[in-house]
């Protein structure tokens, strides 16, 4: 009799589970997603798209709260928190990730890409199969490449038409050797200032100049406190959508599939937005009073010898050599 009773109880529990017994519902996973784009910047709009689609496709089982504009710390601090699992996901650039995986630093070699399409063929191709496992060993799951853009130089002193025009300028760069090396190769004096403090530093003439992609210059309103914009396009980097390995382990295989698919979709949206809006943003900044120059980039590229040497020592010559095979293969297509 007892055995029959246990069988009946087991069948009843199974029936309740199949019928959606409240106690059997999967626990909702709440995640924090931090990044450093302004709320008007395409990075935030893409993050919102990603979060909404994930919640929709997981039927509310994964809910993502977004923290833009450095609310949870500076870019390096955010990256470290993602690695530790204190923040579930973020959008660090290669310059932040190379503190953990030196190979990422080669993405930011000055003047190595022809245009955005060349970048995308390079970074989304076989190089991803190289970068992603290295990142995972360091605690980051790479979902996809988003966007940040080609970086350009602004300043308050003079128009930039040739490398000599950069000499002596006090230039704020992030704490990333590729950008420091590029500016110093041109004769600039590099100063490190936390990103949230850049606007005020420019306004108070603590530094003369800064370098960032067009969208960053526009959405952070640096044109209000800078007179000149030179379209140098000296370094490309992008936001890399990463999830903490600790957070990733909480997801089911189906949820992981959804994350990867929606990350790529959001990244594609951001790329399209950044590229499509650049010309209009430049025009708006010109209208606001900024003087724009379009220097001969071959002169700047020719001055990069010292920068390549420094970056090579930092990244490792073998890493540089390997990555350049991907760059050249993508150029031929």
Other C-beta atoms closer than 10 Å to the C-beta of 296 total 11
The answer to whether 240 and 95 have CB atoms below 8 angstroms apart is no
Residue entry with tokens 């936001």: 239
> What pLDDT is stored for residue 258 in this prediction?
98
The answer to whether 70 and 101 have CB atoms below 8 angstroms apart is no
- Same domain (yes/no): 195, 69: no
Any domain includes 225: yes
Q: What is the CATH number for 322?
A: 3.40.190.170
Q: pLDDT averaged over the chain?
A: 93
Range of the domain at 217: 150-236+279-331
- Same domain (yes/no): 186, 129: no
Tens digit of each residue's pLDDT, the chain (333 residues): 445 554 444 444 444 444 444 444 569 999 999 999 999 999 999 999 999 999 999 999 999 999 999 999 999 999 999 999 999 999 999 999 999 999 999 999 999 999 999 999 999 999 999 999 999 999 999 999 999 999 999 999 999 999 999 999 999 999 999 999 999 999 999 999 999 999 999 999 999 999 999 999 999 999 999 999 999 999 999 999 999 999 999 999 999 999 999 999 999 999 999 999 999 999 999 999 999 999 999 999 999 999 999 999 999 999 999 999 999 999 976
- Same domain (yes/no): 183, 244: no
- Same domain (yes/no): 187, 273: no
- Same domain (yes/no): 204, 312: yes
- Same domain (yes/no): 166, 205: yes
> What pLDDT is stored for residue 231 in this prediction?
98
Any domain includes 113: no
Any domain includes 160: yes
> What pLDDT is stored for residue 25 in this prediction?
53
- Same domain (yes/no): 218, 137: no
> What pLDDT is stored for residue 11 in this prediction?
47
Any domain includes 5: no
> What pLDDT is stored for residue 332 in this prediction?
77
- Same domain (yes/no): 86, 133: yes
Region of residue 92 (left: phi > 0; alpha: psi -120 to 50; beta: else): beta
> What pLDDT is stored for residue 333 in this prediction?
67
Any domain includes 291: yes
User: What's the domain count of the chain?
Assistant: 2
- Same domain (yes/no): 166, 309: yes
Any domain includes 85: yes
Any domain includes 10: no
- Same domain (yes/no): 125, 262: yes
- Same domain (yes/no): 88, 176: no
- Same domain (yes/no): 125, 61: yes
The helix (H) or strand (E) run that includes residue 215 is: helix 214-219
Entry pTM: 0.90
The answer to whether 156 and 257 have CB atoms below 8 angstroms apart is no
Any domain includes 13: no
């Amino acid at each position: 009799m007892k055995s029959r009773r246990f069988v009946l109880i087991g069948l009843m529990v199974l029936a309740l589970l199949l019928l959606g017994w409240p106690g059997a519902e999967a626990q909702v996973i709440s995640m924090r997603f931090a990044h450093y784009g302004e709320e008007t910047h395409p990075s935030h709009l893409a993050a919102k798209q990603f979060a909404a689609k994930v919640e929709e496709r997981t039927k509310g089982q994964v809910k993502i709260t977004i923290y833009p504009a450095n609310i949870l710390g500076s870019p390096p601090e955010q990256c470290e928190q993602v690695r530790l699992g204190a923040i579930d996901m973020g959008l660090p650039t290669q310059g932040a990730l190379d503190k953990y995986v030196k190979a990422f630093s080669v993405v930011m070699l000055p003047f190595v890409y022809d245009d955005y399409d060349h970048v995308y063929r390079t970074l989304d191709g076989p190089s991803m199969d190289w970068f992603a496992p290295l990142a995972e060993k360091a605690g980051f799951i790479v979902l996809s490449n988003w966007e940040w853009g080609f970086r350009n130089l602004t300043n308050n002193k003079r128009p930039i038409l040739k490398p000599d025009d950069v000499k002596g300028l006090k230039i704020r760069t992030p704490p990333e050797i590729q950008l420091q090396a590029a500016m110093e190769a041109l004769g600039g004096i590099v100063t490190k200032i936390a990103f949230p403090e850049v606007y005020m530093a420019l306004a108070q003439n603590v530094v003369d100049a800064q370098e960032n992609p067009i969208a960053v210059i526009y959405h952070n309103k640096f044109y209000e406190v800078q007179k000149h914009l030179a379209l140098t396009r000296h370094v490309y980097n992008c936001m890399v959508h990463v999830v903490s390995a600790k957070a990733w382990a909480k997801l089911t295989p189906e949820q992981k599939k959804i994350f990867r698919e929606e990350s790529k979709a959001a990244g594609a949206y951001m790329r399209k937005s950044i590229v499509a809006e650049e010309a209009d943003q430049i025009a708006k900044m010109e209208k606001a009073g900024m003087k724009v120059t379009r220097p001969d980039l071959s002169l700047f590229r020719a001055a990069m010898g010292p920068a390549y040497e420094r970056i090579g020592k930092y990244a490792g010559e073998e890493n540089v050599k390997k990555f350049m095979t991907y760059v050249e293969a993508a150029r031929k297509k």
